[in-house]
Amino acid sequence: MEHSQRYQLGSWVICPQSNTITNKADTHSIENKSMQVLLFLILHSGEQVTKGQIFEHVWKDSFVADDILSVAVSKIRKALGDNARSPTFIKTLPGVGYTLIAKVKKLDKPEQERSKKIDFSSIYKPNITIGIITLLLIATSLTMYFINTNEDSLVNRININSIAVLPFDDLSSTQDNQHFTDGLSDAIINQLSQIKQLKVSSRYSSFTFRGKYNATEIGQSLKVDALLDGSVQTMGEQVRINVRIFSTKDGQQLWSKTFDSENEDIFTLQDNISDAIQETIQLDYVAKNSIGSPTQTKKINPQAYEWYLMGQYHWRQRNPISLSKAVTYFEHSLALEPEYADAHIGLAITYGNLHHYANWSEKKSFDKSLPHLEKALALKPNSPITLATQGMLLTLKAGYETGFADADSALIQQAHQAFLSSLALDDNATTHRWYSLLLEKLGNESQVIQHMNNAIKLNPLSAPLKRSLSKYLHSIGKPDSAQRMYQRALILEPNHLSHVVDSTHVFRNTRQSITAMAEWHSANADIFTNCSSVEYCEQLVLAYLSIGATDVANNILANMRARHGHFVNSLNLIKFGSKGEEQSILSIKERSALRRPNNRRVLFDLAVAQFRTEKFKQAKTSLLQLKPEWHSPTSVELDDINADSYVTLVLYAVTLSKLGEKEIADNLLHSLQTFLKQKTVFDKIQAEFTLAEINAQLGNVPQSLLHLATALEMGWLETYDREWWSLQSNHLLRPLLEEPEFKLLLKQHREKLNELRAQVIRKLSTISSSME
């Protein structure tokens, strides 16, 4: 089969050689196997092609699952904009196979199109287990000639002031070189960022659009004039890299260049691509040598560079399994190149992240990171990422040495200085995020939010940054803002690995969320064998305890070698709450308030504990410390109520009622009821439940029961990572305790909890012996 032949399929031009399909508006890349399926259908256009024929042709001598063909066809349809139910291109023959129903036309090859054979016989070939991409890393640098001389007309300078570099596509047959294609895009971003006149979109923002090719939409999102994308393709021992620039105004291609490889090193390859791009952009072009020296002055063993790229790729996934892989890859890189500064800093970052995303202690992470940080500082003392990593690791050290008790200590001041020095050299989103972690430990709320917002401004499409800010907002008592921010992250990254667990930090439990959590637990059982992520294990334990699945929770607890202090507190709160030992709970909350006297959530929890022990004056004092503007409750008007504070204001109103200020309390409760009926709160279930509490306190029993029934039907559940009482012992629903209908709702709630608990146990009983 001749892969250089192109075909016209409807409005699309099919190019098997580059695995792309193009029309006047869009270009889509599809993976190699899907292109082979499409090409086979093209060659048998109008014929009935059986699944067996396609498997024999595309996956010959390979064992694959039956649904892999359906997935391949689905990808083709998506790229073509085809509809399986009303097909324009590919018609499904149930139980048989497929037919290509659109007309196909062969296209003549341009006279100028030619491929240049390259002799790789003299090139060093590494261990074949590394994969075909190693040939590229060791063998390639690009000579800057055009394969198609028609492209010479595009060499004219491009007048742009901003650009985004999208992740390059991996068009190799094995489809396993993403670490290299991402690394190539990273290198171009780093080189172009040295041009002060050119705004270059950050990696985390531009990489959000992996696989998407609507230039106009991407340009509007990133606010850039142009997009740069490309592809890497290996054909035997040949390597071809295509680079293109598109206008985001109309989607037109402004420039393209195709490079073939010759016997030079990978760093020259990256520099040459960047130079070609820089020469094309209509700015006051400055030669590379005056922009700054190349990022790597010493030539690095290509094998070591590939290991480094794989380490970079995996630590950025930020989960226990990928971080473990990153350690291995960086260690392999350093075994070949002991003086490789970037690999040292990558390994230091990875060890640091094992505290945040796995079960390593702060001390263990710091001790393992320190030698690599010191080496990186010796090799690159003025590197922004090295200084930022120093600040991040000193933050860990301050945690276990001083507990941040002394904000003016030399250690903390050194961490401050490292972050500020890094930001002075490079206003980087990751550095702002890491600095915010130090500021959070010091209780500097305004600066935390400032640096988090700076990070998001630099990377507006980063889902991880929005998840981090969401979690922080919830921790300081801004639940509605947290949920809205989390939703923005979810839109950007709907398939995030640990979404069902991360969401528990900002959302209450529901029947749906518990079911999703059990399914995720079952699908990722290896994480819980030894609790490689303490955070994941802690959140699952609290969720399972919320529905009474004590045995399942205990099985996870048995595998936890480490536990965070706040989690231990939560377990104690649940234990004391089940026994009705409210005074013990109050003691825990008082100690928390001493440690974090200005934290809104801590103060609210303290007020709840004081209220539940009938210490109403103390509860009022705590609430006024939380909200000083409520000292004059009669001045609180409807416009002063917001979605972040309404729950706190309900407690304050009922506290005033307990202290004999019933008229003021009732006025506040009526205003709160009016506010909630405006339906501006993000969490509709909690809003409905709060209406039940308000009406119970106002003596409107029928309305209270109606709202409660609605909330329960919507999926309301106890949520033990933020409270310690059950529905039956809810302090604001006490006026309903003797109501027959409340007792009936309570019985029905328990029955549904039993059903949900049984469902969870069945789901988890098959994943390992520890769950039996």
Q: Say what the pLDDT of residue 235 is.
A: 60
What average pLDDT does range 86-93 have in this prediction? Answer: 89
Model confidence at 396: pLDDT above 80: yes
Coil, helix or strand at residue 413: helix
Could you give the CA distance from residue 91 to residue 376 in angstroms, rounded to a whole number?
58
Q: Say what the pLDDT of residue 552 is.
A: 93
Residue bearing the bigger pLDDT, 293 or 50: 50
Could you give the CA distance from residue 346 to residue 302 in angstroms, rounded to a whole number?
17
Instruction: Specify the DSSP class assigned to residue 716.
Output: B
Model confidence at 362: pLDDT above 70: yes
Q: Which residues contact 357 (CB under 8 A, 6 or more apart)?
A: 318, 319, 320, 323, 533, 535
Model confidence at 240: pLDDT above 80: no
What average pLDDT does range 28-55 have in this prediction? Answer: 88
Confidence of residue 766 (pLDDT cuts 50, 70, 90): confident
Per the CB < 8 A criterion, the answer to whether 241 and 273 are in contact is yes
Q: Say what the pLDDT of residue 275 is.
A: 77
Domains defined for the chain, CATH in brackets: 6-107 (1.10.10.10), 128-291 (3.40.50.10070), 302-520 (1.25.40.10)
Confidence of residue 156 (pLDDT cuts 50, 70, 90): low
What average pLDDT does range 129-150 have in this prediction? Answer: 36
Neighbour-count burial for 136-171, b at 16+ CB within 10 Å, e otherwise: bbbbbbbeeeebeeeeeebeeebebebbbbbbbbbb
Confidence of residue 258 (pLDDT cuts 50, 70, 90): confident
Q: Say what the pLDDT of residue 405 is.
A: 82
Model confidence at 772: pLDDT above 60: no
What average pLDDT does range 707-735 have in this prediction? Answer: 96
Neighbours of 755 (CB within 10 A): 12
Confidence of residue 635 (pLDDT cuts 50, 70, 90): confident
- pLDDT, tens digit (0-9, with 9 covering 90-100), for 578-609: 999 999 999 999 999 998 888 889 999 999 99
Give the H/E segment covering residue 20: strand 20-22
Q: Say what the pLDDT of residue 400 is.
A: 87
Q: Which two tokens stand for residue 680?
A: 């501006």
Q: Which residue has the tokens 């702060």?
A: 362
Instruction: Specify the DSSP class assigned to residue 89.
Output: S
Could you give the CA distance from residue 698 to residue 668 in angstroms, rounded to a whole number?
11
Could you give the CA distance from residue 168 to residue 185 in angstroms, rounded to a whole number?
6
Q: Which residues contact 145 (CB under 8 A, 6 or more apart)?
A: 259, 260
What average pLDDT does range 291-307 have in this prediction? Answer: 63
Model confidence at 547: pLDDT above 70: yes
Q: Say what the pLDDT of residue 488 is.
A: 92
Could you give the CA distance from residue 151 to residue 154 in angstroms, rounded to a whole number?
5
Q: Say what the pLDDT of residue 67 is.
A: 61
Please write down the long-range contacts of 631-635, taking CB distance under 8 Å and 24 or more positions apart. 633/661, 633/664, 633/668, 634/664, 634/667
Coil, helix or strand at residue 122: coil
Confidence of residue 133 (pLDDT cuts 50, 70, 90): very low
Our CA dihedral for 21, 164, 246, 242, rounded to 10 degrees, sits at -60
Give the mean pLDDT of the chain.
Answer: 83
Could you give the CA distance from residue 171 to residue 29 in angstroms, rounded to a whole number?
8
Measured CA to CA in angstroms, residue 233 lies from 34, 60, 167, 263, 717 at distances of 15, 22, 14, 17, 52
Percentage of the chain beyond pLDDT 70 is: 85
Confidence of residue 287 (pLDDT cuts 50, 70, 90): very low
Least confident of 261-275, 472-486, 679-693: 261-275
Per the CB < 8 A criterion, the answer to whether 389 and 345 are in contact is yes
Strand order in 27-29's β-sheet? Answer: 27-29, 20-22, 12-15, 6-9, 104-107
What average pLDDT does range 441-453 have in this prediction? Answer: 93
What average pLDDT does range 206-226 have in this prediction? Answer: 78
User: Could you please report the per-residue DSSP string of 499-541?
Assistant: HHHHGGGTS--BHHHHHHHHHHHHHTHHHHHTTS-HHHHHHHH
Strand partners, 699: none
**What's at 49, amino acid-wise?**
V
The dihedral built from the CA positions of residue 726, 732, 736 and 738, taken in this order, carries a sign that is positive
Measured CA to CA in angstroms, residue 656 lies from 582, 628, 667, 696 at distances of 21, 15, 11, 16
Could you give the CA distance from residue 377 to residue 383 in angstroms, rounded to a whole number?
8
Q: Say what the pLDDT of residue 646 is.
A: 97
Please write down the long-range contacts of 53-56, taking CB distance under 8 Å and 24 or more positions apart. 53/97, 54/97, 54/98
Q: Say what the pLDDT of residue 292 is.
A: 37
Confidence of residue 236 (pLDDT cuts 50, 70, 90): low
Neighbour-count burial for 637-649, b at 16+ CB within 10 Å, e otherwise: eeeebebbbbbbb
Could you give the CA distance from residue 345 to residue 388 in angstroms, rounded to a whole number?
10
Instruction: Specify the DSSP class assigned to residue 281.
Output: B
For the chain, first and last CA: distance in Å? 54
Confidence of residue 155 (pLDDT cuts 50, 70, 90): very low
Q: Say what the pLDDT of residue 27 is.
A: 77
Confidence of residue 158 (pLDDT cuts 50, 70, 90): confident
Residue bearing the bigger pLDDT, 244 or 127: 244
Residue bearing the bigger pLDDT, 220 or 619: 619
Q: Say what the pLDDT of residue 625 is.
A: 95
Confidence of residue 84 (pLDDT cuts 50, 70, 90): confident
Per the CB < 8 A criterion, the answer to whether 269 and 142 are in contact is yes
Q: Which residues contact 526 (CB under 8 A, 6 or more apart)?
A: 321
Instruction: Specify the DSSP class assigned to residue 110.
Output: P
Least confident of 71-80, 393-402, 706-715: 71-80
Confidence of residue 365 (pLDDT cuts 50, 70, 90): very high
- Most confidently modeled range among 359-373, 451-465, 679-693: 679-693
Residue bearing the bigger pLDDT, 617 or 59: 617
Could you give the CA distance from residue 699 to residue 605 in angstroms, rounded to a whole number?
25
Per the CB < 8 A criterion, the answer to whether 198 and 161 are in contact is yes
Comparing CA positions, the residue from 525, 542, 557, 519 lying closest to residue 763 is: 519
Q: Which residue has the tokens 């393992």?
A: 368
Q: Which residues contact 113 (CB under 8 A, 6 or more apart)?
A: 4, 147, 148
- Most confidently modeled range among 42-51, 229-238, 416-425: 416-425
